[in-house]
Amino acid sequence: MASKDLRVDVALRSAEHVAIIMDGNGRWATNRGWPRLVGHRRGAERVREIVRVAPELGIRWLTLYAFSTENWKRSTEEVLGLMAIFARYIEREADRLATAGIRMRFIGERGRLDPKLQRLMAGIEARTAGFNRLNLTVAINYGGRDEILRAIRAVAAEAAAGRFDPADLTEAAFSDKLDTGGLPDPDLVIRTSGETRTSNFLPWQTAYAEYEFSDTLWPDFTPDELAAIIARFSNRERRFGAAAR
């Protein structure tokens, strides 16, 4: 658990929306001579811990990048194993999330996912829809370019049907067409594992987000490290294009 003193300080000046690219599960396992899926299972345990402490750190929205549109390129064994881990997480965490007052929702294109997983996703979204202690969003089969293309198609379809004038399109209106419609933009994006790519994660929404790149592999990413990152964030000056004071 995050240290008490740091947690209190962070809660006063927090990043309210934190998005995390959870990277390094496979390498964590490979470094130990274990199958990659062992790392993914350990990563799911880390998700449980980070979700538990997030509200204590002043986080109101937590968005986690779990599976990208490009991750289908991995081996069939790994992809099927990941899907099973997602399903087990939802089944095992449903009661815990509801008891804690945490709302869970998903972004990404669901049509390619297993029907059972889709039902579990819809079920926990419905069950937790009224909660707001923490808004947990998980990106599964998500890609930022794919999301933007789907939103463009939706706008184009409405325009073609005469229900919308493209001249009236605003940034806010377009944002509502994205999977994240209704969510605030992230304040802070964290990527673990030492990689410094953004990997097609929320490109529209993170235009002015602050970034932190941690060398820690995701299964080793602790609440204390998260608290330290948020503490550093609280000292940054966010100008959103304006001149420095």
Q: What is the mean pLDDT of residues 139-166?
A: 96
pTM: 0.92
**How confident is the model over 132-149, as pLDDT tens digits?**
999 999 999 999 999 999
In the set 9, 71, 146, 224, the catalytic residue is 71
Is 77's pLDDT higher than 70? Answer: yes
- Tell me what percent of the chain is helix, strand and coil, each rounded to the nearest 5: 50, 15, 35
Interhelix angle for 223-234 vs 36-53, to 10°?
60
Q: Are 144 and 203 in contact (CB under 8 A)?
A: yes
In the set 23, 25, 141, 187, the catalytic residue is 23
CA distance 49 to 19: 15
Task: Supply the pLDDT for residue 235.
Answer: 86
Q: For residue 23, indicate whether it is catalytic.
A: yes
Q: For residue 71, indicate whether it is catalytic.
A: yes
What class has domain 4-143+186-234? alpha beta
**How confident is the model over 83-122, as pLDDT tens digits?**
999 999 999 999 999 999 999 999 999 999 999 999 999 9
Task: Supply the pLDDT for residue 236.
Answer: 75
CA distance 70 to 68: 5
CA distance 34 to 27: 10
Left if phi > 0, otherwise alpha if psi is -120 to 50, otherwise beta: which for 199?
A: left
**How confident is the model over 195-222, as pLDDT tens digits?**
999 999 999 999 999 999 999 999 999 9
CA 24 to chain centre: 15
